[in-house]
Every structure is written in structure tokens, then in C-alpha cells.
Amino acid sequence: MQKLVLVLFFIIILSFSVNALIVITEIMYNPSGSSDNNKEFIEIYYDSWINLSNYSIEDLNGKDNDQLKQVKIDFNSSYALIVENGFDYNNINATVYTVGTQIGNDLKNDGDLIILRDNKSKVVDLVY
């Protein structure tokens, strides 16, 4: 119940936000038939390219606030991926950011809250 209240609170806050240009569009938790090590990612859509370096991603646990570090630039794509170290992004047509060995406190396969914050810690988007 507390999680639901938290999610509703964030949705209300976001409804007053004027920044609708950056959206979390996909979350890959543990891919079927494999370990999730180096395979989890979060996909971001933006309608014009923006550098998300120094933005951060966190999960429901909230203890880890991972800073995004750019590892690949694709100015022609409207998408970005947030990945773990070791993720194979060679054939990806998107800008790619890494956050270290795991995203947040590791993405939970039974549900998690993902929060994207800008470089001033303002919530840009969230998905539960």
C-alpha cells in the first residue's frame, strides 16, 4: 500500500512538470533464460538529442543514485540506453550511458520503481 501511495504521489508531481521531452520507454529486467548480469537496460526517448551525463537513475530502494556516464554518442537517434558495465552495445543505434556494475540497487524482476533525475536532482520521469 505504501508503494502505491508513493507512486501516486510522484505521478501527481510529474503531472505539474513542464518537461515532457524525456521519457522512460522500456525497462529490461532479467532477460528470460539467462543471468541478468550485463543484460539489463533502461531505454529513454527524447524528441531532441540531449546529453544525459550527470543525470541519475535510482530504484525504489532509493539508496543508490547512479550517475550516468556517456560511453557512446548517436546524435541521429532519439533514444538512449542506460546499461551496466559489460553490456554489449556495439550494434545499438542510440546514445549509451553506463552506471557501473548494476542499475540502482539491481532491477527487481517482480516490480520496481525507476526514477530518472536531471543534474539538479529534479524528477524527469518515473515508471513503476
- What average pLDDT does range 50-77 have in this prediction? 88
Q: Is 8 helix (H, G, I), strand (E, B) or coil?
A: helix
Across residues 39-60, what is the average pLDDT?
90
User: In this model, does residue 79 exceed pLDDT 70?
Assistant: yes
> Nearest to residue 67, comparing CAs of 88, 86, 82, 50?
82
SS3 14: helix
Is residue 10 predicted with pLDDT exceeding 50?
A: yes
- Classify the phi-psi angles of 96: left when phi > 0, otherwise alpha if psi is within -120 to 50, otherwise beta: beta
Q: How many CB atoms lie within 10 A of CB 32?
A: 5
The cell numbers describing 88, all together, are 554489449
Which pLDDT does position 103 carry in this prediction? Answer: 80
Per-position DSSP letters for 90-120, written without gaps between them? TT--SEEEE-SSSSTT---TT---EEEE-TT
- What is this structure's pTM? 0.78
For residue 6, pLDDT over 80 is answered with no
In the predicted model, what is the mean pLDDT of the chain?
81
pLDDT, tens digit, 9 for 90 and up, residues 21-37: 899 999 887 666 566 56
Residue, of 95 and 108, whose pLDDT is higher: 95
